[in-house]
Amino acid sequence: MDDEFRVIGHSTQQNIAVKNKRRRWWWVLTAGFIIVISIIVAVFSKKPKELPENPIEGVFEYVPEIIIPPVIIPLGTDSSLTATEKLDTIINDVHLSIYIPHNAVPELTVGVPDRNDNSIILAAQAADIRQDNRKILGAFVLKGEPLAWGLSKKGYCAIIDGNVTVGVSENSPLFEEATEKGGYFFRQYPLVDNGKLVESELKNKTMRKALCSRAGQIIVAVSESDESMHDFAQALVDLGVENAIYLVGSHSSFGWYIDKTGEKTLFAPDIHRGTYRNENYIVWRGN
């Protein structure tokens, strides 16, 4: 107040009373302020009545939900030659090389393929082999003949009548179908299942390789740098891959591709490495 008059420092009852009065007013004002703030906070923090997640639709004014799926265009352009087309891309900082075999039929082979066989335009190691007995790890069918049984990994690849199917399942009827129809089948770590990333127990980082189905194409994707399985699989998801399984990767994995000029290029440096009788490959042979 502008007409306030107060003697300072007098320890008279009057001044004590004035001080107490001031203090009382201060507390009353503070309490009032806190109450007002509390009410305001309570009013504004009250959740608005939520609309039901699925609003009830009217019969006469029914609005059908229109879902436009993202358009995923097949990769590659050069399909006239029998060769492997190579594309390079970077997704989420992961440098990917994508190999698209054209005019070639896929199959599995056991044993290291002959690198002088120029009919093979793309070759990559497929299933792993067991450390203990060097047998193929997981179910494996070679030209209709089962060579290994058992579920070690949930990802699978089946080649039946020249068609490659990549998927994730503990029990796939395609194993029997491959057996009946003279097809091929092997198992590997799943990476992508219906467009969703599948977490893997492999945590280290190395060069990664995957067999993928995307927009009706079967492609092989290779990371050009050391990547974790998670980052690699996420890059595949972001590439638009629908299903993908791992292929034996790392810097020592063997394999090659032949481009449209006829040049053969190894996936990894041709280092001295031991070979195993049950090493197996997915290869594409030119028509």
Partner 1 sequence: MERFLIISKGTEMLRIPAGRLVYISADGNYANIVTQDNRSQMVSFQLGQVEDMIADQLGDAGGNFVRLGRGLIINTDFVYFIDIARQRVVLSDCACFYHDLTASRDVLIKLKAYIDTTINHG
The pair of structure tokens assigned to 131 is 């450390």
| Angle at the Cα of 50 from the Cα atoms of 48 and 51, rounded to 5 degrees | 135
If the CB atoms of residues 6 and 251 are measured against partner 1, the closer one turns out to be 6
Residue 6 or 277 having the CB closest to partner 1 = 6
> What is the smallest separation between the CB atom of 22 and partner 1, expressed in angstroms?
10
- Compare residues 7 and 68 and give the one whose CB is closer to partner 1: 7
Q: Closest separation between CB of residue 36 and partner 1, Å?
A: 23
Restricted to residues 8-67, the positions that interact with partner 1 (CB under 8 A) are 8-11
- Closest separation between CB of residue 15 and partner 1, Å? 8
Nearest CA to 134 out of 276, 281, 242 is that of: 276
Closest CB to partner 1 among residues 22, 251: 22
Which part of the chain contacts partner 1 (CB under 8 A), choosing from 1-9, 44-52, 58-66, 232-240? Answer: 1-9
3 is an interface residue for partner 1 by CB under 8 A: yes
Closest to partner 1 by CB, 2 vs 201, is 2
Q: How far is the CB of 29 from partner 1 (least distance, A)?
A: 14
Strand order in the sheet with 120-125: 104-110, 280-286, 120-125, 255-258, 264-266
Q: Which is nearer to partner 1, 19 or 273 (CB)?
A: 19
With CB under 8 A as the contact rule, which of the stretches 7-15, 33-41, 173-181, 278-286 interacts with partner 1? 7-15
Residue 12 or 119: the one with the smaller Cβ distance to partner 1 is 12
Could you tell me the CA-to-CA distances from 233 to 18, 42, 75, 195, 282 in Å, in that order? 75, 46, 18, 10, 20
Rule CB under 8 A: say whether 204 interacts with partner 1: no
Q: Which of residues 181-200 bind partner 1 (CB under 8 A)?
A: none
Tell me which stretch binds partner 1 (CB under 8 A): 3-11, 57-65, 100-108, 204-212.
Answer: 3-11
123-152 positions binding partner 1, by CB under 8 A: none
Using rule CB under 8 A, residue 5 touches partner 1:
yes
242 torsion bin: left (phi>0), alpha (psi -120 to 50), beta (else): alpha
User: How many other C-beta atoms are found inside a 10 Å radius of the C-beta of residue 265?
Assistant: 11
With beta carbons less than 8 A apart as the criterion, state whether 229 and 200 touch.
yes
* Binding residue count for partner 1, defined by CB under 8 A: 11
CA distance 42 to 50: 17
Instruction: Tally the C-alpha atoms within 13 A of residue 225's C-alpha that lie toward its C-beta.
Output: 11
Distance CA 224, CA 202 (A): 18
From the number of C-beta atoms within 10 Å of its C-beta (0-12, 13-18, 19+), residue 146 rates as middle
Residues near partner 1, by CB under 8 A: 1-11
